[in-house]
Amino acid sequence: MAAEEQAKELPQILILGPPSIFPYLESQFSNRFLFLKPWLYNLPLTQFLTSYAQSTQALLIRGGGNTQLTSTIIDCLPSLKLVVTSSVGVDHLDFPELRRRGVAIANAGNLFSEDTADMAGGGVAVGLLIDVLRKISAGDRFVRQGLWSKKEDFPPGLKLSGKRIGIVGLGKIGSEVAKRLEGFGCKISYNSRTKKSMAPYSYYPNVYELAANTEALIICCALTKETYHLINKEVMLALGKDGVIVNIGRGLIIDEKEMIRCLTQGEIGGAGLDVFENEPNVPEELFNLDNVVLSPHAAVMTYESKVELSKLVVNNLEAFFSNKPLVSPVVD
């Protein structure tokens, strides 16, 4: 049998987005599925779907942002029975319409809240903190721009060892951060809604007090009504001109405009930011600051988690095509 004919017998998966894991998925699993890639065709999406995807039973879609699964798209897919999203969130799916048509939904399950991702998040938080304090990315720019060989002196950074660090949100990721910082001899304090009876760290019920008594704040909490703009002007002024903020939570937890003003005017010392108010758009004022490290929302995603997520996606697809229960179904 020709390879092409063999491919036709593979289950057909429509790819929308595509998800960031797709290149890996394609390289590993093209022998098990036939992936439909609309972005390769010079056609409006609805026309592509009408021409090529009438028999498609399953689709894989990337997480939120600009990729939406609308009822217009769903209308073009009469055979659709399964939607797999590579995200935890499902806000980008027209849930009522999918339910009405009896389409099953699977997501990333609790993959990003498992130990492996917590550790990844903890690792990046510590990495961003060392990077800001010791100016590693700034030093890398300095060397690559050829300034070192011009015998300029690179200004020294601050030491992490022994510093007083405040963790905002001592959940699973926050605890992983704290554990790592203990190895640096840091004095850990934290703020959270309630005191954790098991945590061997100083508790501050008020984030302002935490900032006033520490040299760096690491934001690890979730975004809620209560944490929206929790890190405001007063908190930043309390942290002070040598103070550093690391944010691996959500952009909206910090008043970003005020933070940029504080960074520019030297009212805080620096920031390591994995998240922003309006991703993937990062305020351009940050691009020219040497006291910030900018990261493209990469704290939780590692090569290892990409491999795990790809396996989870494939396991859901295979379960569906062999009439078994989904591995990580989204239920109402």
Q: Which residues are catalytic?
A: 250, 279, 297
Angstrom distances, CA of residue 220 to CA of 155, 247, 260: 30, 7, 20
For the CB of residue 100, give the shortest distance to a copy of itself in the complex, in Å.
31
CB closer to a copy of itself out of 110 and 145: 145
For the CB of residue 242, give the shortest distance to a copy of itself in the complex, in Å.
9
For the CB of residue 257, give the shortest distance to a copy of itself in the complex, in Å.
18
CA atoms of 179 and 162, how far apart (whole Å): 14
For the CB of residue 214, give the shortest distance to a copy of itself in the complex, in Å.
17
What's 226-260 look like in SS3? CCCCCECHHHHHHHCCCCEEEECCCHHHECHHHHH
Question: Cα 34 vs. chain centroid, distance in angstroms?
Answer: 28
Q: Are 89 and 146 in contact (CB under 8 A)?
A: no
CB closer to a copy of itself out of 142 and 321: 142
Which residue's structure tokens are 């926050």?
174
Instruction: Take residue 272 and report the two structure tokens written for it.
Output: 């390591």
CB closer to a copy of itself out of 100 and 179: 179
Binding site for a copy of itself (CB under 8 A): 20, 66, 116, 119-120, 122-124, 126-128, 130-131, 134-137, 139-140, 142-144, 146, 148-149, 151, 153-154, 156-162, 179-185, 279-282, 287, 293-296, 298, 301-306
CB closer to a copy of itself out of 49 and 117: 117
For the CB of residue 123, give the shortest distance to a copy of itself in the complex, in Å.
5
Residue 182: partners with Cβ closer than 8 Å, 6 or more residues away? 188
CB closer to a copy of itself out of 129 and 221: 129
Q: Of 213, 223, 210, nearest to 254 (Cα)?
A: 223
CA atoms of 142 and 149, how far apart (whole Å): 10
The DSSP secondary structure of 133-145, one letter per residue, reads: HHTHHHHHHHHHT
